[in-house]
Amino acid sequence: MDWLLVLCSLVHIFICPFTKVEESFNLQAIHDILYHQTDIEEYDHLEFPGVVPRTFLGPIVVSVIAAPFVAVSHVLGFPKDVSLYLVRFALGALVLWPLLKLQKRIKGTLGKGTSDWFVLITVSQFHFLFYLSRPLPNTMALPLVLFAYYYWLGQQHGKFIACSAAAILIFRGELAILLGLILLGELLARRLSLSRTLFVAVPSGLLCLFLTVFVDSFFWQRLLWPEGEVLWYNVVLNKSGDWGTSPFLWYFYSAIPRAMGTSLALLPVGMFFERRVWPVVLPALFFVLAYSFLPHKELRFIVYVIPLLNIAAAAACNRLWENRIKGKWFALLALIAIGHLVANLVLTSFLLVVSRANYPGGEALSLLHKMENQESNVTVHIDVLAAQTGISRFGQLHNNWIYDKTENLKPGSPELRMFSHLIVEAKSKHAYNLRPYAETHEIVAHVEGFSHIRSSYNHFPPIRIKTKPCLFILKNKDLLKEPDFSFMLRKHQVETAEESLLPAAECDNRNQLDSEVLLNENSNNIPELSEKSIDE
């Protein structure tokens, strides 16, 4: 069933190819490694550094895998945005590799039936496969976490500790809780000695720490340990709550139910019938409980626990399916196991449609490229919302065009008059912020984004996804012959916060909707954002 995971991952990529602001650092870093190599001065992070630095090790690995395919694409004359797909394919393959190995380990530990149900449940759910190929900091850590699970279930403790050290010290410090709980369980069960743990953990930790400090100090042009600065910012300074807070149990009553869908109902069933899944499920639940103490919450912060919880759900489905021939009631329960997959797929399809409507920035820039000739001397200013919702350097197709994201320019200002085109946020063509352009610009197109969900019993299906205008493309009627772009500074500090933007912002950027997880209640008192961000 390996092909199912690959096929469904590709579906997610093709339906929602663009990326959001919380993915921007890694995506721009991959772009710069592929296209600028050692010319660090041209790298995006020097212009938009964010609040805290992030490691370049993940982008380097993805770039190495994608580079041959990107080179072939360039030789064949494909447009630059094809590279975005290739990069996401590479990252998806990096995550699928250990996920497929984990599936084989489940087969050897709990049987082929549980392994097959694990695949079926995973592909039926939305969030894990949706995040699988997205260049989030959490996704960058995911391959190492999945390898750690694989080695843990195979009792290969040395490799488990090494993978855990890399995931924690290089990518995500909070994984010390999850992987530390697993390690503690092995120590208490006396399957691993403390001396053996230290023998592997100390050199692995030092090697990983040296690697990230050495590499990232080069790219950031100063001595630093990126994940150490993140931990200091979020834990010591306790700044994560500045970007929105959620109730303590939010992960349990909102995030996990949305991530697992109807499979959540089978979690306790699996724990009841198959006691061997208890050591797998309990560390995941305790990790979520411990992580709940941080006030700012997003589903992607706990994406690592979804495979572990799915193992228990798969064990339940396998037991119900094996007992189907024992009687009518058992056959009915087997049908419920199958029916829950159908329910998950319906929910996943719905969320994919919603998500596709939440990248108006990427759609707007793509539309502009179709409207204007490549040889035109186009200069386009991209406002904050557009930059946050799908625009990246991979979408900047033409080298002779100027793409600018200078912030804090007032509508109708002399600086904005210098551009031939503007991509501007507005709720309608009569919006207040478009009035300064009434005499100087014409509206040539607009892009709609997700607005709300509407139910009506007079239609089938009874739920409708409604969109509304959110970005307008304006063309300058009287472009200056020699525009002055001296205001476009190469380097400037941008005060932003990735966590404050929900995984999919509603187009008015005020009453936001999490397109990836739908009706996300995870942020209150959210400040307005710029393009780059901090990741908790």
Q: Are residues 353 and 383 part of one domain? A: no
Residue 463 reports pLDDT greater than 90: no
Give the per-residue pLDDT at 244. Answer: 78
b/e string for 352-380 if b means 16 or more Cβ within 10 A?
A: bebbbbbbbbbbbbbbbbeebeeeeebbb
Q: Are strands 441-455 and 463-476 parallel, antiparallel or unpaired?
A: antiparallel
Residue 490 reports pLDDT greater than 80: no
User: Domain ends where: 357, 374, 399?
Assistant: 357
pLDDT category, 484, cuts 50, 70, 90? confident
Position 533 in a domain? no
User: Domain ends where: 341, 357, 373?
Assistant: 357
Give the per-residue pLDDT at 489. Answer: 55
Position 377 in a domain? yes
Position 530 in a domain? no
User: Domain ends where: 337, 357, 377?
Assistant: 357
- Cα-atom radius of gyration of the chain, to the nearest Å? 24
Give the CA dihedral 29, 288, 284, 202, nearest 10 degrees: 60
Full residue range of the structural domain in which residue 232 is found? 1-357
Residue 444 or 501, more confident: 444
- The reply to whether the predicted model has a pTM over 0.85 is yes
Average pLDDT of span 225-250: 85
Position 508 in a domain? no
Q: Are residues 344 and 273 part of one domain? A: yes
Q: Are residues 31 and 13 part of one domain? A: yes
Q: Are residues 368 and 342 part of one domain? A: no
Q: Are residues 368 and 347 part of one domain? A: no
pLDDT (tens digit per residue) in 258-307: 999 999 999 999 999 999 999 999 999 999 999 999 888 999 999 999 99
Average pLDDT of span 149-163: 97
Q: Are residues 176 and 277 part of one domain? A: yes
Residue 203 or 414, more confident: 203
Position 509 in a domain? no
Residue 117 reports pLDDT greater than 90: yes
Give the per-residue pLDDT at 201. Answer: 97
Q: Are residues 81 and 134 part of one domain? A: yes
pLDDT category, 236, cuts 50, 70, 90? confident
Q: Are residues 293 and 380 part of one domain? A: no
* Cα separation, 404 vs 390, whole angstroms: 15
Q: Are residues 184 and 46 part of one domain? A: yes
Question: Which helix (H) or strand (E) segment is 248 a member of?
Answer: none
Give the per-residue pLDDT at 455. Answer: 79
Q: Are residues 326 and 253 part of one domain? A: yes
Q: Are residues 159 and 120 part of one domain? A: yes
Position 506 in a domain? no
Q: 3-state DSSP call for residue 455?
A: strand
- Lowest-confidence region among 47-56, 138-147, 194-203, 499-508: 499-508
CA geometry: angle 310, 5, 11, nearest 5 deg: 120
Mean of per-residue pLDDT scores for the chain: 88
Q: How many domains does the chain have?
A: 2
* Cα separation, 259 vs 153, whole angstroms: 23
Position 526 in a domain? no
459 and 440 in contact (C-beta within 8 Å)? no
Q: Are residues 349 and 367 part of one domain? A: no
Give the per-residue pLDDT at 522. Answer: 37
Average pLDDT of span 209-229: 95
pLDDT category, 51, cuts 50, 70, 90? confident
Distances (CA, A) of 462 to 187, 210, 452, 459, 514: 53, 56, 14, 5, 21
Position 5 in a domain? yes
